[in-house]
Amino acid sequence: DLIHPGQVIDFAPIMGRKHAAAVATVGSSETPSSRPGAIRTHAVAEATESESSHRVLERTLERAVAKGYLPKADLPEARRRILDMAKEHRFMPDDFARVALIESDGFNPKATNGNCHGVIQFCDGPDRGAASVGFGAEPKKILSMSVVDQLELVDKYFGDTQLKSYMPA
């Protein structure tokens, strides 16, 4: 009840400069097949798959390098693995970076709360994250792995949980 017919909504400010800018027109009759009250979205620029199009991921990876969580030499490989996983498992790379910020202070491979460990907090216990990636017997061994190696575990975990079979994350 707060959007009025003919109103134009510019989503570019919330999508970032490098992301697709979109404009939704509410209730306009641009095509004969349009129905009254419909919201139509028009892409006015397309996002690229370059690393610069994922601002949160890039800043989080740079922060991980600055904090010593990720060796600078491993940065391109970590980026590539995350972008590959995002395509394979259908999630937004920036959302993955946000999860890593919440779970491990942004790709800290040694992050632990005593029961969950690593960059996305693989938890102890049967049928939990650590067990799913082969560390059920010794979950704390995850903490000795690099960010890049833990990203392989993340990929395995996402495959095991069949993340891509759900709606895009």
SS3 letters across the chain: CCCCCCCEEECHHHHCCCCCCEEEEECCCCCCCCCCCCEEEEECCCCCCCHHHCHHHHHHHHHHHHCCCCCHHHHHHHHHHHHHHHHHHCCCHHHHHHHHHHHHCCCCCCCECCCEECCCCEECCCCCHHHHCCCCCCHHHHHHCCHHHHHHHHHHHHHHCCHHHCCCC
Q: Is the pLDDT of residue 34 over 60?
A: no
What is the rounded distance in angstroms from the CA atom of residue 29 to the CA atom of residue 22?
A: 18
Residue that is written with structure tokens 């600078």 in the block? 72
Give residue 111's pLDDT. Answer: 95
CB atoms closer than 10 angstroms to residue 7: 13
Contact 60, 101 (CB under 8 A): yes
Q: What is the mean pLDDT of residues 33-49?
A: 42
pLDDT at 158: 86
pLDDT of 129 over the 70 cut: yes
Burial class (CB in 10 A: 0-12, 13-18, 19+), 78: buried
Task: Give me the pLDDT at residue 167, please.
Answer: 66
| pLDDT of res. 65 | 97
- Determine the average pLDDT of the residues in 124-153: 90
Residue with structure tokens 């390098």? 65
- Name the least confident of 25-39, 51-65, 94-108: 25-39
More confident residue, 123 or 81: 81
pLDDT tier for residue 58 given thresholds of 50, 70 and 90: very high
